């Protein structure tokens, strides 16, 4: 197995891009929301990245699949956090739509990735 193979995955790079997008949103939040809401959405977005990296180092594709599943759950959590921000007027509809599109793309990539695994 190739060491640090996740660094070559497009889905990993796209997940990094999503995190940067989320980070920029959090930087613009009013101070009173940065700790609670900001911290939560940053954790869920970084969880996608970290689970892909950790899963790539596992010996079996069954184990990797489990980490991909966790990444998918974190993507859904990130979208729900974006929805909370939008509903409460902390981001606009365009930011929500952009985030949703990025998350949807990563979900699709992970779904395709799962299909290639021999489990």
CATH, residue 84: 1.20.1440.60
- What per-residue confidence (pLDDT) applies to 57? 92
Residue numbers in the chain where pLDDT is lower than 70:
1, 118-119
Total structural domains in the chain? Answer: 1
- Is residue 104 included in any domain, yes or no? yes
DSSP state of 88: T
Expressed as residue numbers, the domain containing 96 is 10-114
- Is residue 86 included in any domain, yes or no? yes
In this structure, are residues 116 and 79 in contact, taking their beta carbons and an 8 Å threshold? no
Evaluate if pTM is beyond 0.75. yes
- Is residue 42 included in any domain, yes or no? yes
- What per-residue confidence (pLDDT) applies to 67? 96
Burial class (CB in 10 A: 0-12, 13-18, 19+), 73: middle
Q: CB neighbours of 58 closer than 8 A, spacing ≥ 6?
A: 64, 67
- Residue 82: count of CB within 10 angstroms of its CB: 26
Burial class (CB in 10 A: 0-12, 13-18, 19+), 20: exposed
pLDDT tens digits along 40-61: 999 999 999 999 999 999 888 8
- Is residue 5 included in any domain, yes or no? no
- What per-residue confidence (pLDDT) applies to 119? 64
């Amino acid at each position: 197995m190739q060491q640090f193979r996740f660094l070559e995955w497009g889905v990993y790079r796209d997940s990094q891009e999503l995190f940067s997008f989320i980070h920029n949103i959090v930087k613009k939040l009013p101070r009173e929301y940065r700790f609670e809401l900001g911290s939560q959405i940053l954790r869920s977005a970084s969880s996608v990245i970290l689970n892909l990296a950790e899963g790539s180092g596992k010996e079996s594709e069954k184990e990797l699949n489990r980490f991909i599943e966790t990444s998918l759950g974190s993507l859904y959590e990130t979208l729900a956090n974006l929805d909370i921000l939008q509903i409460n007027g902390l981001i606009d509809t365009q930011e929500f739509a952009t985030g949703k599109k990025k998350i949807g793309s990563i979900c699709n990539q992970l779904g395709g990735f799962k299909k290639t695994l021999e489990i």
